[in-house]
Structure 1
């Protein structure tokens, strides 16, 4: 795993607590001139698909024999496309049909990109497969878009992701997720689902003591939240890349990027402050601006479709 084709910026002037993180696809010299190296970034993201689809423990089971490598890659892609919403969206992004507005509002690959950033930049591995949380009928997620664990720092990451055209709409949708997901009933239900799955995959005795204690119904909610970080991942279209200048940290690009990030971060934190648990939620804002959502989604869908055919 690597993060050679993405840039990661932390602006301490905006958030001294290091809660704002901005990611974007790296620039390099291409055949067409200076531009974002999207092809290699997409390839890097797709290297994560097997573990994303099966989960760490499940992937180990699948890869016990060398001859299982190609079938496992193929099955990982099929697992993702078994979700009706993703399969249906592919027909729009990869076909001749006109793109409907509802597909611009979906973030089918937001979970995969969030998975990548949490693993690569925060050393937080997925606790279980995200596919486990998908409804077999409607493809609607039962729970958080990311459930990752940093065993070194003893932190559980819970993530929500949105890939939209509008940054404002992405932020508003994330805030709504926080409102609906951070309640006693929802968290207790999610922790039970997670507990059932990891004990099935790993067994009670194999599970880290830190995780067992955090998920235990006997642990106070206050103590649980004290060990949880919440990643709110917003992908959105932005015009900032039009002003990129290589090697100039004081360029208009960096100024515009900082200003855009500051406005969105302030918006998120202001809205979250109205939540009754705001003082107990450790919120981290991940921003991922891109130039064209349609191009991003079409490229990822085409690659995933191709992976099924290897």
Structure 2
């Protein structure tokens, strides 16, 4: 929940957040995540987890808040779930275009992720995504002009794919999480086996030979309980 402001607010809003308006900012962020009563089939928990993990462990920076290009009714749209930039040595950078899946079943999650990524990397989708994302790029991030150029309509899709990393975030029920109450060797081994199985599915799809994929696995004890708890806290902030 502490990541919803970073996930949902624009860079200028975050920059102007202080002790006097932090609660107002939290309410704004909570309202932008979703306002639907039908939360059970929504995937924002997975998207926020993806955002937090990439920010924390890979030092990425959002270039366009996901909620900035949701529809007015707060309905999900067919777009990448995460659009970040990762700065490398010198003046190099990677554009991170992520897909997050928040499911009960790991098998269903990775199957859906493969289908989504396959549809996302076709020419038609990427062209539309570039048109959608270009105007959303913040001017105050490093190399914003080069990032906008990469997303310009006249720039080839090959150039975009060459500079892109496609993280696939799988947040799903885990046998290891259910069967272990604390971190231990048995838990680590089981988690490794589950993650290797997911990576095997991605590799066998052929996607790893076409694009730069990163698998991020979030093992859950009970997806439905987590979703319900998140919804309760989110609605509490909205009231």
Q: Distance in 2 between matches of 1:58 and 1:189?
A: 27
Coordinate RMSD, CA, aligned: 2.3
The corresponding residue for 2:139 is 202
Report 1:263-302 matches (<5 A): 263-271=197-205, 273=206, 279-302=209-232
Partner SS state of residue 236, structure 1: strand
Which ranges of structure 1 fall in alignment gaps of 5 or more residues? Answer: 1-45, 91-102
Q: Deviations over 1:164-185 (max 9, x none)?
A: 1110000011011012111112
Partner SS state of residue 143, structure 1: coil
1:230 pairs with one of 162, 166, 174: 166
Which ranges of structure 2 fall in alignment gaps of 5 or more residues? Answer: none
Pair 1:81 & 2:34 matched: yes
CA distance change for structure 1 residues 171 and 246 in 2, over 3 Å: closer, same or farther?
closer
Runs of 4 or more above 3 Å deviation:
242-248
Report 1:32-111 matches (<5 A): 46-61=1-16, 63=17, 66-82=19-35, 87-90=36-39, 103=40, 105-111=41-47
Cα distance, 1:186 vs structure 2: 1.1
Report 1:145-184 matches (<5 A): 145-152=81-88, 153-184=92-123
Q: Distance in 2 between matches of 1:112 and 1:287?
A: 14
Cα distance, 1:243 vs structure 2: 4.5
Partner SS state of residue 133, structure 2: helix
CA distance change for structure 1 residues 106 and 247 in 2, over 3 Å: closer, same or farther?
closer
Partner SS state of residue 281, structure 1: coil
Q: Is the 8 A contact 2:32 2:74 kept in 1?
A: no
The corresponding residue for 1:20 is none
Q: Deviations over 1:150-199 (max 9, x none)?
A: 1345011001111111100000110110121111121111112111122x
Q: Deviations over 1:191-235 (max 9, x none)?
A: 12111122xx538x9852431332123322222211100011111
Q: Distance in 2 between matches of 1:157 and 1:179?
A: 16
Cα distance, 1:56 vs structure 2: 2.2
Task: Please identify, of 235-244 and 179-188, the stretch whose mean Cα deviation from structure 2 is larger.
Answer: 235-244
What's the TM-score, normalizing by structure 2? 0.88
Q: Is the 8 A contact 1:237 1:292 kept in 2?
A: yes
Mark the structure with the bigger radius of gyration: 1
Number of residue equivalences:
236
